[in-house]
Structure 1
């Protein structure tokens, strides 16, 4: 079950080393970054037999979307560091794969332009101290056709990215900006992470938009319960791809307790470390309703643009269907925790 590193190695060969590290790197010593993948390596599968699974049906309902497979593209910043067409190419690839793209607030392409690709979209949001500006960003996402808001809640301060510090990478190259950080007047704002942000932000956001609201960045079951109590429409188990608190629990290790805390009241997604169809199967068996993938999509984008993105998503869905058939499961709901063991 060791994940393949080949796409990442090939992407390293074609990208500027500074930009590769900006996309690939994690916080601190990167214990959490590597731990996300190691958590899958530690698991083994105990498949069922003679269950006549037939051709697996991967179709999945999530807030605002019905998907062909339980795979969502995670919000990742700066796609134009990976490919000149940036998030437009990502959107085209996602649309071709009939998938769902979570647009980053830090995208290098405006949400309106990404929406023109025809991809189904969610929008990732950092609530800013300037709530009027934040509301305008949400309104832009709604007007562009985004189907849900994914509120990132794990960033009271910025993680320390040692690779970026080593390269002194602090600004995007000339001509690239975070297009979703423009105000009504066209002026660019700097993204501010707010150490004072509290649960009242969820209530404020729900009063600002009619779209479903998911919270992303939950690892503790107590926070999962609070999220449901505050009326969210989904919980994303995430440690920000290992880019925030170094040493934080791997998302797969955090997943079962969060699933228990949510108790089926809203969907639970897992973000972090999924590199194969078997990884996705393990997450689904441990209670996730869907998985998010981030860096693999960036590597596909770097290698082949929209075609590379589509290939990553199609390959992941095909590999998940194959693994499900071998495990004796017809639908994701057939995958149960007893299929997964830690030897």
Structure 2
């Protein structure tokens, strides 16, 4: 982003206000969240906004950020500012990425393609979700239509089927992904009362499994299971019929053909059985370098010893993440984890952060505490629910604009120069 991005975005909004036009996407997170809740279904809100257990980790993410205060400096020339960073050989206009969010179609149809377009319009990376509602090939095509060169990364959930892992990695390379993000904190689903109280798991309805149903290896696994399966008599209920209709609509192909076929139902069950590997360990990761030439980023790192081991294992980066507070109730906040991890890594690999990063000042604090970039999750999903691709773009554009203004107003000119001296712990 060029110097003055924040002021330019402010001026655009104020100029529109002269004509009594207000932003479709609220510029503060609290109002953005309120409006998104009204726009979403109960199931969508539970899955996207909900957290694990009593929500203590989500609260901790915010409380930890509030314990750090920005200390502005004055009488410095801040007329020229730089938000750009280098990440894995690519120059990015801002230290911000669109985080992967599963089952995005809960918020909007074809969500992943819309988010990809939003990221491309801003020129920042999008980490394609492994639990997407649109295949990675279609998301890449949506980004190519904008043609800004915005990087695409791929999130990998390590399946129990190694051939499926290889297939997903090969497809990621084929769409010119520039990194693979291995998610390590979801080898099983956390206790999520908002979803449980509704009896709602999107994947059981065929939502968020498009990376699988578009994969040749996965299709072969389903076919093998169907051939081996004995005749079963499933329980019939109105709820089961509604779920079957949802599965059928989310499956590739024509609805009439799918409703007559056992394949869509078998695909859902196969996904639930093999999508993640609870036995995953460092020995498995040791062989990953031989399976892909892409930079490898480990997502879900919260302990400095794990960060050290990632460095020793030759990984290219980590994401300090507690999965948006959706996996372990009462877990450490990502900002507190970053505070101990960044000194251990000491610049040897890239350090990203997500979970609870909702504003430009949040990004500022994360960078000052040692992160190279921040990943934005819920805000862009809320913008998506309100205004599609434009809403997802605007939600993140507002965060970048606020970062630019915060940088200058605190007396700094380059995000790369931020350090702990810009903050005080309260």
**TM class by shorter-chain length?**
over 0.9
Matched, 1:156 2:187: yes
Secondary structure (helix, strand or coil) at the match of 1:5 reads helix
Q: CA separation in 2, counterparts of 1:264 and 1:334? A: 13
Aligned to 1:65: 90
- Decide which moves more: 296-305 or 155-164: 155-164
Shift of 1:64: 5.2
Secondary structure (helix, strand or coil) at the match of 2:72 reads coil
Aligned to 1:275: 358
Map 1:237-252 → 2, pairs under 5 A: 237-252=320-335
- Decide which moves more: 167-176 or 211-220: 167-176
For the Cα contact (< 8 Å) 2:107–2:384, is it kept in 1? yes
Work out the number of aligned pairs and report it.
341
Secondary structure (helix, strand or coil) at the match of 2:142 reads coil
Secondary structure (helix, strand or coil) at the match of 1:279 reads helix
Any stretches of 5+ residues in structure 1 without a counterpart?
none
Aligned to 1:337: 420
- Decide which moves more: 185-194 or 199-208: 185-194
Map 1:147-226 → 2, pairs under 5 A: 147-172=178-203, 176-182=207-213, 183-184=215-216, 186=219, 187=222, 188=267, 189-190=270-271, 191-226=274-309
Secondary structure (helix, strand or coil) at the match of 1:29 reads coil
TM-score, with length taken from structure 1: 0.95
Q: CA separation in 2, counterparts of 1:176 and 1:223? A: 33
Aligned to 2:35: 10
Displacement over 4 Å in runs of 4+: 172-175
Q: CA separation in 1, counterparts of 2:70 and 2:52? A: 31
Q: CA separation in 1, counterparts of 2:307 and 2:198? A: 37
Q: CA separation in 2, counterparts of 1:127 and 1:92? A: 26
How big is the alpha-carbon RMSD for the aligned residues of Structure 1 and Structure 2?
1.6
Q: CA separation in 2, counterparts of 1:296 and 1:245? A: 21
Shift of 1:4: 3.0
Aligned to 1:256: 339
For the Cα contact (< 8 Å) 2:102–2:208, is it kept in 1? no
For the Cα contact (< 8 Å) 2:105–2:208, is it kept in 1? no
Aligned to 2:231: none
Secondary structure (helix, strand or coil) at the match of 1:116 reads helix
Matched, 1:34 2:59: yes
Q: Deviations over 1:282-321 (max 9, x none)?
A: 1101111000110001001000011011111211111101
Q: Deviations over 1:186-241 (max 9, x none)?
A: 34441533222111222222110000000010010000000010011011100011
User: CA distance change for structure 1 residues 102 and 64 in 2, over 3 Å: closer, same or farther?
Assistant: farther
User: CA distance change for structure 1 residues 173 and 224 in 2, over 3 Å: closer, same or farther?
Assistant: closer
- Decide which moves more: 136-145 or 190-199: 190-199
Q: Deviations over 1:248-287 (max 9, x none)?
A: 1000011021101101101111111111111110110111
Aligned to 1:142: 173
For the Cα contact (< 8 Å) 2:152–2:178, is it kept in 1? yes
Q: CA separation in 1, counterparts of 2:119 and 2:286? A: 31
Equivalent residue in structure 1 for 2:153, among 122, 131, 136: 122
- Greater Cα radius of gyration, structure 1 or 2: 2
Aligned to 1:293: 376
